[in-house]
Amino acid sequence: MGEWGEELEVSLSALDLMPIFKQHRQFAILSSIGMTFLYIEEGWASYVLWSQRSLNQALGIIGVIGLIALIGYLISFFFPPTLVSASWDHPRPWGVFSNVTAWSAGITLIINVIIYVLLLCLVQFDFTAGYTLLRDVYVYAIFGMCFFHGLLLYVRYMQYLYTMPGFVQPVKVISASVGVGAVLLIVAGFLFLLDLYHFVSAPAAMQPLWGLHMYVRALYAFTLALAAYAWHLRWIADH
């Protein structure tokens, strides 16, 4: 980036970035819906594997979990950009983008804490279910924060950089995207192996349902991640 680009970058205020924050609404909505079904599946699996509650009670709690997940993730995408104001005095636009993403990550964390408590209520605070669900919800929280919000941060910043004079660095863009894809595959493989270990260690009577839960969740989450990754690739290619 040339000297002219650096001077323009410094002269920009946080409010100048608002047009970028107003884009990618479809990605935010579809990501929120996709994550919601992940929690609904977790709730249903928790009921089948550990809960002694009646079907009506379980469906009520699972419905609340799904509603909180959907509304919460929508808030995590759409609320933080409304906080941007001229008082956000960052030396570079990256500070504005990362600050918005930090708010999104914080909201996502709060959502997952609430959902974890509801899942504990669903399984009536069963000890084995409690630490298993803690691991699952922790992974979902990291998935939402680092992948979906992180990917949106990357696309927003790239969108900004494409408007800067003299920014032509396709090798760096491609390298970053390939790196994200490699991390996705490595993490997905590790989590699947971890699930496989817990499946083998589970009591024989639980293994059929546990296996169904494990494969449905793994395939759905991986498909969700691939869809988001494909969206980012399409955006990079179109711009």
Report the mean per-residue pLDDT for the chain: 84
| pLDDT tens by residue, 164-187 | 766 656 666 666 667 766 776 677
The values of phi and psi at residue 234, to 5°, are -65, -40
Of 17 and 228, the one with more pLDDT: 228
Contact 148, 102 (CB under 8 A): no
Mean pLDDT over residues 141-149, rounded? 92
CA 22 remoteness from chain centre = 19
Q: Tell me which DSSP letter residue 166 carries.
A: T
The Cα–Cα gap between 15 and 236 comes to 24
| pLDDT tens by residue, 64-79 | 999 999 999 999 999 9
Q: Domain spans of the chain?
A: 3-238
130: burial class by Cβ within 10 Å (0-12, 13-18, 19+)?
Answer: middle
**What is the structure's pLDDT at 192?**
67
| pLDDT tens by residue, 22-44 | 889 999 999 999 999 999 999 99
Residue 125 backbone zone (phi > 0: left; psi -120 to 50: alpha; other: beta): left
